[in-house]
Structure 1
Amino acid sequence: MRFVCLALCLALLAGCAGGPRIDTRYNAVGQNSRVQYIVLHYTSTDLARSLQLLTEGEVSSHYLIGDSPATIYRLVDEDRRAWHAGVSEWQGRTWLNGTTIGIELVNQGFYQGPNGRYWQPFAPAQIDALIPLLKDIVQRHQLPLGSIIAHSDIAPQRKVDPGPLFPWQRLAEAGLLPWPDAAAVARQQALFSASLPSVAWFQGQLARQGYEVAEHGELDRATRNVLAAFQMKYRQANYDGEPDAETAALLLVLNQQMQN
């Protein structure tokens, strides 16, 4: 009898130690991934320093892609929050650390030269490694087209990464990003060259893209920064933050394509 009591006590203790018994036979249809976006960054430093910063400090990311060789490091499990986005907003959602996967690419970013900023190109092998990783994440989390964004998209007042040399069009060619139809852009640009829309129109179109932008009709510094962030992705030869006919055409065509 004493042994029976001891066995029962041990069983009860084991049950308490393992937590409550949960029946997992049922699974709800109404669910999806907590991940809504993938945010791309550059590290602004070399691999050794990138690993140190992203593993030993408060800043982190889910993945880091080296430059030579283009090794993919997983630093945070996808079901855990990484601290890569900071104060951020996209499509009305804020503080995006909890709903995004962050990917850092080892790249120095830019330095100031006598003729302005010099940007470091991305190693082709890095992009070759990035694209399959993005496809895998998109497939597993069932993310819609347009879910891969830049740090500069979600924080245009303080961030410029991954910068104007990041090859967004390669991601579009891989089916990962919406891209404006060139013929449609040319037609719209001709029309906008004759009559440029108002600043309020630009602000409204940028907000439709997902940017946080005040729609007050004034061409202030904040609006210019948002325009530059958009141009840095879709018109990398000129990202001056000016509301011109080509930018208007790119915005309109992209928003129309995403609506259809």
Structure 2
Amino acid sequence: MNTKFHSRSQSDRIKYIIIHYTFADLPSSLETLTQDEVSSHYLLTDGEKPFFYKLVDESKQANHAGLSSWKIYNQLNASSIGIEIVNLGFSDTPTGRVWYTYSQAQIDQLILLLKKLVARYQIKPENILGHNEIAPQRKQDPGPVFPWKKLADAGLIVWPDQNNVAQRLAIYQNQLPDIAWFQQKLALHGYAVPQTGLLDKETQNVIAVFQSKYRQTLFDGMPDAETAAILDVLIFSN
């Protein structure tokens, strides 16, 4: 075999990093991710000193994303690294849904790993995503209390500039864009979203996922001026 020549047109298989919560404790998470059909490359524990289990080699595909899409890519198992974080997700109570927080120690360890993976595979900031972003009609992890802003502060993901958001907010408070505008902008951002011009349940699910990342104080899936301003700033940033 002659290996003298190398094509210029090539890239790493890994283009995305997908973050999940396990919705279970550590023993159950390990059992699921090692004995069932679901798998991930890494599992981050939830003890006092969290650490990673490496469950699937990065050169191999893990089955963590399922039916998924982002921008022009579908079935993201083949092009991503999956990171599961031990976290119980949420509990539904008589007074509403309660989401379980992530420890600072977990996030510190996650950031360290993400920086290594980004350097190794040249992952773009817009390609570090939550499971709910690539499957907004069926997934909620890593949830609305996952501290995305800390990842932004670490230089790992894009975050909307608050001054720019404030400027656009004044515009959209005066006149809110129609649903078709939201659908088009969300699709440009990367989401699989209907292009119907109607505020259907599928569109609300996508808006709620977007809000749960960039505006965690209110993620009801309803289009409003602040959501429009944040979305517009992010599209311009990308």
TM-score, structure 2 as length reference: 0.97
Using the alignment, how far apart are the partners of 1:26 and 1:119 within structure 2? Answer: 53
Using the alignment, how far apart are the partners of 1:214 and 1:89 within structure 2? Answer: 13
Which one-letter code corresponds to 1:206 in the other structure?
L
TM superposition shift of 1:93: 1.2
2:195 is aligned, of 215, 226, 234, to 215
Gaps of 5+ in 1: 1-21
Using the alignment, how far apart are the partners of 2:101 and 2:220 within structure 1? Answer: 19
TM superposition shift of 1:25: 4.3
1:171-218 Cα offsets, whole Å, 9 max, x none, are: 001111000000110111111001000000000010011000111100
2:89 is aligned, of 109, 115, 132, to 109
Which one-letter code corresponds to 2:35 in the other structure?
E
Mapping for residues 111-190 of structure 1, pairs under 5 Å: 111-190=91-170
The answer to whether the aligner puts 1:45 opposite 2:16 as a matched pair is no
The answer to whether the aligner puts 1:27 opposite 2:6 as a matched pair is yes
Which one-letter code corresponds to 1:107 in the other structure?
N
TM superposition shift of 1:28: 3.1
Using the alignment, how far apart are the partners of 1:115 and 1:191 within structure 2? Answer: 36
Using the alignment, how far apart are the partners of 1:221 and 1:113 within structure 2? Answer: 24
TM superposition shift of 1:26: 3.9
TM superposition shift of 1:142: 1.1
Checking the alignment, whether the CA contact within 8 Å between 1:42 and 1:107 is kept in structure 2 is yes
TM superposition shift of 1:98: 0.5
Number of aligned residues: 237
TM superposition shift of 1:249: 0.1
TM-score, structure 1 as length reference: 0.89
Checking the alignment, whether the CA contact within 8 Å between 1:92 and 1:212 is kept in structure 2 is no
Gaps of 5+ in 2: none
Report the counterpart of residue 246 of structure 1 in structure 2: 226
Q: State the identity as a percent.
A: 51
Report the counterpart of residue 36 of structure 1 in structure 2: 15
Structure whose alpha-carbon radius of gyration is higher: 1
Using the alignment, how far apart are the partners of 2:207 and 2:9 within structure 1? Answer: 37
1:221-247 Cα offsets, whole Å, 9 max, x none, are: 000000000001000010000000000
Using the alignment, how far apart are the partners of 1:29 and 1:193 within structure 2? Answer: 49
SS in structure 2 of the partner of residue 146 of structure 1:
helix
Which one-letter code corresponds to 1:34 in the other structure?
R
Stretch of structure 1 that moved more, 56-65 or 137-146: 137-146
The answer to whether the aligner puts 1:63 opposite 2:42 as a matched pair is yes
* RMSD between aligned residues: 0.9
Which one-letter code corresponds to 1:40 in the other structure?
I
